[in-house]
Amino acid sequence: MLERTIPAPITLPHPPSFSPPPGACDAHCHVFGPAARFPFATKRAYTPPDSGIDLFERLQRRLGLSRAVFVQASCHGTDNMAMVDALERGGGRYAGVAMIDDGFSDGEIAKLHDVGVRGTRFNFVKHLGGAPDLAHFWRVVDRVQAFGWHIVLHFDAKDLPQYAELLDRMPCPYIIDHMARVPVTDGVDQEPFQQLLELMRDDRCWVKISGAERLTADGPPPYDDVVPYARALIAAAPDRVLWGTDWPHPNVRHMPDEGDLLDLMLQFAPDEATRNRILVTNPETLYDFS
């Protein structure tokens, strides 16, 4: 029996206070295990509880969502099989973002593409291991763009300036996770957030207005201090914003209720047409849901 180092998600989140539109998508979530079938990586920073596709689909029904994008988590390393199993179970309702390395053949990348993977992810956050080797980074980017994939980037906002040249060189669309983990106590006029808004002027740049439970200075909901940041990003490029739960919430200060996270969309995007664009139309642009 593995000793879990992070807590499990809330078993029964409350339903949202609005009805999500048909085709609404959770564009940033994970599947963990079950470890007996999909073992965790030997070298991992945390050991999560089993949070597989069966639990996730119960969550989807509870929230009234029908699509999802599974992002490969570091606890599984480059073994993407738990995610692949979830994609196959979805029958076209789900897409994926894999983690790959130089050991993957073109044939293996093609197999990931065939089951619905449309991107790969790199972490640049220092406390999670820091930036990848940049020679490796560019080799992987070069290989996956041949499949039409995009790149998902996990940054701390304060580090954006040092990667300005890297982002300028990107040959394909890229997504910045969790609003670049911007420190909300510093205000929307802070230089790192203004740089993020400047990046949104580039048609290659997308952002996820996810991770409110990580960004808030208060800890528990209502996460009001995150709202101005999400609204500013939506105003900058409403057609390149995605939303996600980050279920099952690895390494958070407090375990959020996904119903609260979805209800935040009413504050992030009070206009129903904009809200539907973020939940439905924008993910459809990047992912081949059938």
Active site residues: 246
- The distance of Cα 183 from the centroid of its chain, to the nearest Å, equals 18
242 Cβ neighbours under 8 A, 6+ residues apart: 25, 27, 28, 69, 175, 206, 207, 208, 209, 210, 278, 282, 283, 286
- Copy the structure tokens of residue 121: 């992810």
Q: Given its phi and psi angles, is residue 195 left (phi above 0), alpha (psi -120 to 50 degrees) or beta?
A: alpha
Q: What is the 3-state secondary structure (H, E, C) of 97-155?
A: EECCCCCCCHHHHHHHHHHCEEEEEEECCHHHCCCCCHHHHHHHHHHHHCCCCEEEEEC
* Contact present, 243 and 52 (Cβ < 8 Å): no
* SS3 category, 260: helix
In terms of residues, how long is the chain?
290
CA angle, 269 as apex, 248 and 170 as ends, to 5°?
Answer: 70
H helix or E strand, kind and range, residue 94: strand 94-98
Helix pair angle (106-115, 81-90), 10° resolution = 40
Query: Order of strands across the sheet with 117-123?
Result: 25-29, 67-71, 94-98, 117-123, 150-154, 174-176, 205-208, 241-242
CA distance 65 to 96: 16
